[in-house]
């Protein structure tokens, strides 16, 4: 397959994952949606279902408007819209974890807006660094497992779960390798998203067909920090201003792929330890301020010269963190700008002005 | 003009709150800032003075200082989507401004996420700014009865908090004193529940704005004899009012339910406007949150249950069922939901709850858009027009 064609296939998976997933449903496979990077995909996969991250929903419309206030983020509004209007009609179930207040409450609204869809709750603890939190997560995973098995009719324990753990670890390694090779913003972030929008086997197959290097663009090295950024257009926009993303803390990219699950030991505990052990997302308690420390360390290691905050508009959790992180970056002399994302993504004049300013600052320093 | 029937205990309230804040500002005892839904009994038993920034946010709102302080928080980088209690009190501390100036600086923090996730984010900011420890009680969202893993997780956390509190203070928390505090807290909550029950009378002896004032002690001082004595007296006085057939609103015509925290800056103005039209808010969801009664045969488990199962931490079907019960038990004619701009936890689901209430009871409601502290999201004329039209539609 031609390189362009192989990459285009991956881009298609990201742009519109729904037709392929519908085909798989029609072929008898079970597709299970999940809402955030704290849901162990390995468990869904081990049960024999295709784990698909809830991304790429339609523009919020009548369904979202009937259930959610306009001051809720358009990311969540878009997903409810999609669940209510049939965009995700291929799903057999969704796993909804406790993350922010919006997603927590959304779990109840999904049951009403999408009647017939099985909603499974995963009470991911807000505290992630204590032994009791890990034990609680293990218990929650143990409670989720039979629910998933009920959807597929397959057992999700023992050898199957270990195999799923190994498979996803390989996917994460492949993503690490791709980042090292520097394929450019669009290709790198398409690969992260592709893993979340299809099964690990299909992802590894796609990764086997693409070549990693060659298209690196942009001379201004930036780190991007935020929540879910499922739109490749955001990364295109950065590239338009000469920015190459060399490090990120995004839950649809590095935070999703960070850290391996131990392949020995008790699988559920290994999953709990990996998922809770990552640098916490803003919806989790972070008493040691790891997020700030890892941002500064990541900037140092990657050679990023500036930071782009890419967070969902109306996201209270990221908004609480922003002033402290910005203050620290200012103190370190690292320039930053903030983009408040709406779904569907439209680059606004304000975003362009901010990126232009950052680009000029970084250009001056070169 | 709407009449305001004052209870004798209101004078006591002023004295008690003045004494409380005087002690908080002048005492050498350790002080903790604490969220309203956190297990304050742990602090009281440890001899720590609890201070409630949420109460202070309400005071900031009521004294019309919310606009300026929220704008100041915006200058500090905090968006409008951040809780206005948090924004206004963070700015109050930074600027040294507020109804009583800045609150006394804390030695430690205690937060719980049973009201919302906002709480721990807010307290993380405080922890970093003050450079002090944050004790956190993580309460899983509750679908009904707590699961065994919920309970085990919660009890282990209570043990951890007690241990860490002891480490911070340099002395162990006296368990006997904790049990005594829980007992008093429980008895006080029982009185508060009995007062709420009396509001079922026709006419209702208490209007929600009265409760928004009287709730100060159940939030701030539950677990103390002072709060117990206050509500014991209040209960007696409300009973007398019911026996006299005296209503909080003259010629009570409409009995309403209020949902959510009120817009504090419009507290009297909005509720007096409604009272002038004959509307009494005979029940509200907000002041009913503080009702936990502990089983002293298993105190820590019982604390775990009570603190997990408060209303904002319950799944929507349970919350909706509670609202339906209120509508029936208090013979409510209509409900008013405050869609509070900076409070997603309590608000998201309100549209569906409104539909379920109407479907199950036939009672209709109205949704007002505003914010609890930041007046920027409040349009007085629009809200009043909406309320007037709604009340007329109930005729």
Domain CATH number, residue A33: 3.40.50.11890
- Are B333 and B364 spatial neighbours (Cβ–Cβ below 8 Å)? no
> Which residues span the domain enclosing A333?
219-364
Report the residue of A115, A132, A137, A312 to disrupt the B interface, i.e. the one with the largest count of B CBs within 10 Å: A132
Q: With respect to CATH, is domain B9-169 assigned 3.40.50.12780?
A: no
Closest among A41, A54, A44, A40 to A110, alpha carbons compared: A54
Backbone angles phi, psi at A125, to 5 degrees: -65, 155
Closest among A132, A160, A68 to B347, alpha carbons compared: A68
Same domain? A230 vs A144: no
Cβ neighbours of B368 in A, within 8 Å: none
Residue B156 CB neighbour total at 10 angstroms: 18
Report the residue of A67, A71, A72 to disrupt the B interface, i.e. the one with the largest count of B CBs within 10 Å: A71
Residue A177 inside a domain? The answer is no
Cβ neighbours of A140 in B, within 8 Å: 149
pLDDT in tens, B51-89: 999 999 999 999 999 999 999 999 999 999 999 999 999
CB-based contact B352 A135, cutoff 8 Å: no
Among the partner-chain residues A102, A108, A133, the one whose CB lies closest to the CB of B344 is: A102
Whether pLDDT at A366 is above 50: no
**Chain A residue closest to B141 (CA)?**
A123
Same domain? A140 vs A234: no
Write down the mean pLDDT value for chain B.
Answer: 95
Same domain? A146 vs A228: no
C-alpha span between A74 and A61 (Å, rounded): 10
- Summarize the confidence of residues A300-312 as an average pLDDT: 96
Cβ neighbours of A314 in B, within 8 Å: 81
ipTM over 0.90: yes
In angstroms, what CA-CA distances link A210 with A7, A174, A178, A182, A247?
6, 11, 10, 13, 22
Cis? peptide before B19, omega within 30° of 0: no
Residue A117 inside a domain? The answer is yes
CB-based contact A109 B113, cutoff 8 Å: no
Last residue of a domain, one of A120, A151, A182: A151
Percentage of residues of chain A with pLDDT beyond 90: 92
- Summarize the confidence of residues B326-337 as an average pLDDT: 98
Cis? peptide before A344, omega within 30° of 0: yes
Report the residue of B82, B122, B153, B342 to disrupt the A interface, i.e. the one with the largest count of A CBs within 10 Å: B153
Among the partner-chain residues A106, A135, A323, the one whose CB lies closest to the CB of B78 is: A323
CB-based contact A123 B76, cutoff 8 Å: no
Whether pLDDT at A166 is above 50: yes
Last residue of a domain, one of A122, A151, A180: A151
Cβ neighbours of B122 in A, within 8 Å: 320
Residue A281 inside a domain? The answer is yes
Confidence tier at A158 by pLDDT (50, 70, 90) = confident
Q: Tell whether B359 is within 8 A of chain A (Cβ).
A: no
Position A216 scores a pLDDT of 61
**With a CB-CB cutoff of 8 Å, which residues 134-153 of chain B face chain A?**
134, 136, 138, 140-141, 143, 147, 149-150, 152-153
Q: Tell whether B19 is within 8 A of chain A (Cβ).
A: no
Residue A13 inside a domain? The answer is no
CB-based contact B79 A317, cutoff 8 Å: no
Among the partner-chain residues A66, A101, A324, the one whose CB lies closest to the CB of B345 is: A101
Report the residue of A109, A147, A285, A315 to disrupt the B interface, i.e. the one with the largest count of B CBs within 10 Å: A285
Q: Give A340's strand partners.
A: A311
Write down the mean pLDDT value for chain A.
Answer: 95
Confidence tier at A6 by pLDDT (50, 70, 90) = confident
CB-based contact B120 A287, cutoff 8 Å: no
Whether pLDDT at B352 is above 90: yes
Among the partner-chain residues A132, A136, A323, the one whose CB lies closest to the CB of B76 is: A323
- Rounded to 10 deg, the angle between the A185-197 and A200-209 helix axes is 150
Among the partner-chain residues B76, B83, B156, the one whose CB lies closest to the CB of A132 is: B156
Residue A6 inside a domain? The answer is no
pLDDT in tens, B133-165: 999 999 999 988 899 999 999 999 999 999 999
The conformation of residue A260, written as its DSSP 8-state character, comes to P
Same domain? A234 vs A359: yes
CB-based contact B120 A285, cutoff 8 Å: yes
pLDDT in tens, A54-110: 998 999 999 999 999 999 999 999 999 999 999 999 999 999 999 999 999 999 999
Determine the 3-state secondary structure of B86 from DSSP.
Answer: helix
Position A365 scores a pLDDT of 54
Position B11 scores a pLDDT of 87
Distance from CA of A151 to the nearest CA of B (A): 21
Number of domains in chain A: 2
Whether pLDDT at A325 is above 70: yes
Residue A210 inside a domain? The answer is no
CA A39 to chain centre: 11
Cβ neighbours of A72 in B, within 8 Å: 344, 348
Among the partner-chain residues B157, B344, B350, the one whose CB lies closest to the CB of A316 is: B344
CATH number at residue A248: 3.40.50.11900
- Are B48 and B66 spatial neighbours (Cβ–Cβ below 8 Å)? no
Whether pLDDT at B322 is above 50: yes
pLDDT in tens, B267-314: 999 999 999 999 999 999 999 988 888 999 999 999 999 999 999 999
Taken in order A68, A70, A71, A74, the sign of the CA dihedral is: positive
| Sequence-distant (≥ 6) Cβ neighbours of residue B390 within 8 angstroms | B334, B336, B366
CB-based contact B349 A143, cutoff 8 Å: no
Whether pLDDT at B1 is above 60: no
Same domain? A234 vs A341: yes
C-alpha span between B337 and B364 (Å, rounded): 11
Distance from CA of A116 to the nearest CA of B (A): 16
Distance from CA of B247 to the nearest CA of A (A): 35
**Chain B residue closest to A133 (CA)?**
B153
CB-based contact B150 A69, cutoff 8 Å: no
CB-based contact A322 B79, cutoff 8 Å: yes
**Chain B residue closest to A317 (CA)?**
B121
Position A4 scores a pLDDT of 83
Q: Tell whether B328 is within 8 A of chain A (Cβ).
A: no
CB-based contact A125 B121, cutoff 8 Å: no
Position A215 scores a pLDDT of 62
Instruction: Mark residue B324 as left, alpha or beta (left: phi above 0; alpha: psi -120 to 50; beta: remaining).
Output: alpha
Cβ neighbours of A109 in B, within 8 Å: 316, 348-349, 352
Instruction: Mark residue B211 as left, alpha or beta (left: phi above 0; alpha: psi -120 to 50; beta: remaining).
Output: alpha
Position B5 scores a pLDDT of 72
pLDDT in tens, B88-107: 999 999 999 999 999 999 99
pLDDT in tens, A169-228: 999 999 999 999 888 899 999 999 999 999 999 999 999 998 876 666 778 999 999 999
| Interface size, chain A vs chain B, as Cβ–Cβ contacts under 8 Å | 135
């Amino acid at each position: 397959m031609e390189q362009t064609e192989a990459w285009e296939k991956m881009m298609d998976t990201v742009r519109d994952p729904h037709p392929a997933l519908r085909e798989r449903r029609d072929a008898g496979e079970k597709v299970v949606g999940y809402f955030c990077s704290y849901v162990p995909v390995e468990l869904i996969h081990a049960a024999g279902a295709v784990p698909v991250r809830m991304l790429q929903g339609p523009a919020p419309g009548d369904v979202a408007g009937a259930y959610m206030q306009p001051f809720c983020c358009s990311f969540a509004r878009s997903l409810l819209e999609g669940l209510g209007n049939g965009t995700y009609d291929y799903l057999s179930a969704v796993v909804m974890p406790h993350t922010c207040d919006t997603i927590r409450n959304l779990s109840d609204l999904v049951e009403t807006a999408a009647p017939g869809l099985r909603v499974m709750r995963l009470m991911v603890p807000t505290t992630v660094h204590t032994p009791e939190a890990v034990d609680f997560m293990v218990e929650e995973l143990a409670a989720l497992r039979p629910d998933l098995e009920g959807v597929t009719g397959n057992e999700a324990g023992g050898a199957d779960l270990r195999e799923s753990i190994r498979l996803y670890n390989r996917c994460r390694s492949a993503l690490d390798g791709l980042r090292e090779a520097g394929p450019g913003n669009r290709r790198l972030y398409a690969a992260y998203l592709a893993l979340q929008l299809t099964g690990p086997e299909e992802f590894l197959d796609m990764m086997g067909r693409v070549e990693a290097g060659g298209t690196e663009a942009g001379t201004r090295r930036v780190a991007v920090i935020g929540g879910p950024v499922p739109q490749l257009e955001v990364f295109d926009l950065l590239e338009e201003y000469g920015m190459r993303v060399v490090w990120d803390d995004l839950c649809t990219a590095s935070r999703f792929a960070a850290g391996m699950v131990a392949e020995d030991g008790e699988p559920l505990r290994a999953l709990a330890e990996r998922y809770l052990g990552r640098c916490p997302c803003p919806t989790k308690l972070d008493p040691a301020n790891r997020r700030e420390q890892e941002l500064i360390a990541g900037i140092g290691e990657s050679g990023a010269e500036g930071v782009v905050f890419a967070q969902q508009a109306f996201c209270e959790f990221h908004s609480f963190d922003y002033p402290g992180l910005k203050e620290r970056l200012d103190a370190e002399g690292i320039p930053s700008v903030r983009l408040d994302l709406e779904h569907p993504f439209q680059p606004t004049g304000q975003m362009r002005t901010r990126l232009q300013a950052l680009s000029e600052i970084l250009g001056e320093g070169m | 003009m709407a009449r305001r029937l004052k209870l004798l205990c209101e004078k006591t309230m002023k004295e008690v709150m003045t004494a409380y804040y005087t002690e908080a500002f002048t005492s050498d005892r350790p002080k903790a800032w604490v969220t309203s839904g956190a297990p304050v009994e742990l602090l009281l038993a440890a001899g720590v003075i609890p201070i409630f920034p949420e109460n202070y946010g309400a005071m900031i709102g009521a004294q019309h200082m919310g606009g300026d302080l929220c704008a100041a928080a915006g200058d500090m980088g905090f968006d409008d989507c951040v809780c206005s209690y948090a924004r206004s009190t963070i700015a109050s501390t930074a600027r040294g401004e507020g109804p009583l100036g800045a609150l006394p600086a804390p030695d430690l923090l205690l937060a719980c996420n049973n009201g919302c996730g906002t709480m721990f984010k807010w307290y993380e900011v405080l922890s970093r700014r003050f450079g002090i420890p944050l004790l956190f009680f993580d309460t899983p969202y509750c679908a009904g009865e707590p699961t065994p893993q919920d309970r085990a997780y919660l009890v282990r956390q209570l043990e951890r908090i007690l241990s860490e509190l002891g480490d911070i203070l340099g002395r162990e928390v006296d368990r006997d004193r904790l049990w005594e505090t829980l007992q008093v807290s429980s008895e006080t909550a029982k009185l508060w529940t009995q007062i709420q029950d009396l509001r079922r009378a026709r006419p209702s002896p208490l209007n929600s704005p009265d409760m928004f004032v009287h709730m100060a002690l159940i939030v701030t001082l539950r677990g103390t004899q002072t709060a117990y004595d206050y509500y014991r007296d209040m209960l007696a006085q409300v009973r007398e009012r019911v026996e006299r057939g005296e209503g909080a609103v003259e010629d009570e015509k409409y009995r309403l339910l209020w949902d959510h925290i009120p817009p504090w800056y419009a507290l009297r103005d909005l509720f007096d406007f409604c009272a002038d039209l004959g509307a009494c808010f005979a029940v509200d969801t907000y002041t009913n949150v503080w009702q936990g009664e502990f089983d002293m045969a298993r105190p820590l488990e019982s604390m775990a249950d009570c603190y997990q199962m408060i209303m904002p931490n319950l799944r929507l079907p349970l919350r909706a069922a509670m609202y339906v019960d209120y509508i029936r038990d208090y013979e409510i004619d209509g409900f008013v939901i405050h869609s509070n701009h900076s409070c997603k936890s309590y608000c998201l689901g309100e549209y569906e709850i409104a539909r379920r209430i109407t479907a199950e009871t036939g009672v209709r409601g109205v949704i007002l858009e505003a914010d609890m502290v930041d007046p920027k999201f409040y349009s007085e004329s629009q809200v009043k027009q909406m309320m007037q039209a709604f009340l007329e539609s109930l005729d």
